[in-house]
């Protein structure tokens, strides 16, 4: 696959749709550019979990994981 992208005066580029599909990236995703002996390699930044970016939002006061929820329930019940 050979695709081209134009760099704007602000240093921005638009990644062609076919390349985004191959990389599996969408708006808001991050890419990393790595230099090796063959040139520059582009790959998506992957988190350990698809949902890791949503951790610790929406539940203030409740600790992470199963133990955090169990502790919160015990406190709620007065145990």
What confidence tens digit (pLDDT) does each residue in 40-78 have?
A: 999 998 877 777 777 667 777 787 778 888 888 898 898
Task: For residues 23-46, give the mean pLDDT.
Answer: 92
* 70 located within any domain: no
pLDDT at 56: 67
* 65 located within any domain: no
Count of structural domains, the chain: 1
Task: For residues 27-41, give the mean pLDDT.
Answer: 92
Q: Which of 41, 21, 39 is nearest to 31 (CA)?
A: 41
Return the structure tokens found at 25.
Answer: 């990236």
* 3 located within any domain: no
Residue pair 34/43 in contact (Cβ under 8 Å)? The answer is yes
pLDDT at 49: 74
Domain of 25 in residue numbering reads as: 15-48
* 64 located within any domain: no
pLDDT at 66: 86
* 56 located within any domain: no
* 71 located within any domain: no
Q: Which is it for the CA torsion 12, 17, 19, 20, positive or negative?
A: positive
pLDDT digits (tens, 9 = 90+) for 14-24: 999 999 999 99
Return the structure tokens found at 66.
Answer: 């199963």
């Amino acid at each position: 696959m050979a695709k081209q992208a134009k760099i704007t005066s602000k240093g921005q580029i638009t990644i062609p749709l076919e390349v985004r599909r191959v990389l599996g990236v969408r708006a808001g995703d991050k890419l990393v550019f790595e230099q090796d002996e063959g040139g520059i390699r582009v790959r998506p930044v992957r988190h350990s979990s698809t949902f890791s970016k949503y951790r610790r939002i929406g539940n203030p006061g409740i600790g992470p994981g199963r133990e955090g929820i169990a502790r919160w329930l015990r406190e709620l019940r007065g145990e």
